């Protein structure tokens, strides 16, 4: 288990390093400097600015400085908003994005698993068909389309819920709903097919034959095993939710990290783009790492296999 964790840890660091390097060199490929705009600055000011942001150094030195800044978790100042640093933007945006993300994951997991289990228990009945139609629809409707439609129907037409910003629980309903529907649908489909397979296993028959209540058979014996594929896919789903926050925060004007990222892109604010990209990637890769570890703990077969030495 320890070697397994160490191996994943090395992968994690390598991936973050590659992303950081890729980001740096890609950003340097873009022609022009952020200060070459229509607004003319005199040569001395220009030089001072470049010195301040280390833009006059050779590329290799800039790269080393950049790696150092990542290791010390100091992503430098924002170019377009001189009063802000990337860290201050992240510090303000992250808690809000995290709140949005956690609610989304919770709701997607609970409702997706519940939908999948009900569909599997009522296999080929009306409930099954309804649940699966909802699931395919949920996968097919892009989150930004769902978000705009929800605003148009529930916020503008019916005026039930506020359409934008992030200040009360009522404000959170629409963004979370728009973001959670896709992952929920994927989880529901996966839970259903995995549940159907598990329910035919011999140990389920044994559990039934022992006279356990249907609830115990389903929850304790079947669901516990059927959830393993869901754990596997959590990494991909988290990546989807994370990128989903970009558009959702833009649509609902939520002052989270995604909003600053999109603004950074539109204003070509390179330190902000670089900082948020590296932060996002590191966060995501760390989440994937946690999912892998959790998988190792939940499935005893994997732990034994990994300790056996052969990959």
Partner 1 sequence: MSALKEKQRDDSHSSIPDEWFRPKEKNIDEAESVVRPSLSYWEDAWRRLRQNKLAMAGFVFLILLAVMAVIGPWISPYTVSEASLADQNQPPSLNHWFGTDELGRDVFTRTWYGARISLFVGLMAALIDFFIGVVYGGISGYKGGRTDNVLMRIIEILYGLPYLLVVILLLVVMGPSLLTIIIALTVTGWVGMARIVRGQVLQLKHNEFVMASQSFGAKTKRIIRKNLLPNTMGPIIVQMTLTVPTAIFAEAFLSFLGLGIQSPYASWGVMANDALGVILSGDWWRLFFPAFFISATMFAFNVLGDGLQDALDPRLRR
Q: Which residues bind partner 1 (CB under 8 A)?
A: 11-12, 14-15, 18-19, 22-23, 26-27, 29-30, 136-137, 139-142, 144-145, 148-149, 151-152, 156, 239, 242-243, 246-247, 250-251, 262, 265-266, 268, 273, 277, 280-281, 284-285, 288
Rounded distance between C-alpha atoms, residue 256 and residue 54, angstroms: 29
Minimum Å gap between C-beta 136 and partner 1 is 6
Q: Which is nearer to partner 1, 64 or 149 (CB)?
A: 149
Minimum Å gap between C-beta 266 and partner 1 is 6
Q: Which is nearer to partner 1, 154 or 212 (CB)?
A: 154
Q: Which is nearer to partner 1, 46 or 295 (CB)?
A: 295
Minimum Å gap between C-beta 285 and partner 1 is 6
Residues 190, 109, 172, 261, Cα dihedral to 10°: -70
Minimum Å gap between C-beta 12 and partner 1 is 8
Q: Which is nearer to partner 1, 212 or 290 (CB)?
A: 290
Q: Which is nearer to partner 1, 167 or 266 (CB)?
A: 266
Minimum Å gap between C-beta 149 and partner 1 is 6
Q: Which is nearer to partner 1, 172 or 269 (CB)?
A: 269
Minimum Å gap between C-beta 291 and partner 1 is 12
Q: Which is nearer to partner 1, 53 or 252 (CB)?
A: 252
Minimum Å gap between C-beta 140 and partner 1 is 4
DSSP the chain: -HHHHHHHHHHHHHHHHHHHHHHHHHHHHSSS-TT-SSS---HHHHHHHHHHTTTTS-HHHHHHHHHHHHHTT---B-SSSTT-BHHHHHHHHHHHHHHHHHHHHHHHHHHHHHHHHHHHHTTTSHHHHHHHHHHHHHHHS-HHHHHHHHIIIIIIIS--S--S-SSSHHHHHHHHHHHHHHHHHHHHHHHHHHHHHHHTSHHHHHHHHTT--HHHIIIIIIIHHHTHHHHHHHHHHHHHHHHHHHHHHHHTT--SHHHHHHHHHHTT-HHHHHHHHHHHHHHHHHHHHHHHHHHHHH-HHHHHHHHTS--
């Amino acid at each position: 288990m320890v070697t397994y964790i160490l191996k994943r840890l090395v992968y994690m660091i390598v991936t973050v390093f590659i992303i950081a390097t890729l980001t740096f060199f890609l950003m340097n490929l873009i022609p022009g400097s952020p200060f070459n705009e229509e607004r003319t600055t005199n040569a001395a000011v220009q030089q001072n600015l470049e010195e301040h942001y280390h833009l006059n150094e050779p590329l290799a030195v800039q790269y080393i400085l950049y790696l150092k800044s990542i290791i010390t978790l100091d992503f430098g100042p924002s170019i377009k908003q001189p009063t802000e640093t990337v860290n201050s933007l992240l510090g303000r945006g992250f808690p809000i994005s995290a709140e949005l993300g956690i609610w989304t994951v919770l709701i997607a997991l609970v409702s997706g698993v519940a939908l999948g289990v009900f569909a599997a228990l009522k296999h080929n009945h009306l409930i099954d068909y309804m649940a699966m139609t909802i699931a395919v629809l949920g996968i097919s409707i892009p989150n930004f389309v769902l978000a705009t439609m929800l605003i148009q129907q529930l916020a503008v037409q019916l005026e039930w819920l506020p359409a934008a910003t992030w200040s009360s629980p009522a404000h959170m309903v629409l963004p979370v709903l728009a973001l959670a529907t896709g992952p929920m649908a994927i989880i529901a489909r996966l839970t259903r097919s995995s549940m159907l397979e598990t329910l035919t296993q011999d140990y389920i028959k044994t559990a039934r034959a022992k006279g356990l209540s249907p609830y115990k058979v389903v929850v304790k014996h079947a669901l516990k095993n059927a959830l393993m594929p869901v754990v596997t896919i959590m990494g991909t789903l988290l990546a989807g939710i994370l990128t989903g926050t970009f558009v959702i925060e833009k649509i609902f004007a939520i002052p989270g990290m995604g909003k600053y990222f999109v603004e950074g892109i539109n204003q070509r604010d390179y330190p902000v783009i670089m900082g948020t990209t590296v932060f996002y990637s590191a966060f995501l890769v760390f989440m994937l790492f946690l999912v892998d570890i959790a998988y190792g703990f939940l499935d005893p077969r994997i732990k034994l296999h990994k300790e056996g030495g052969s990959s």
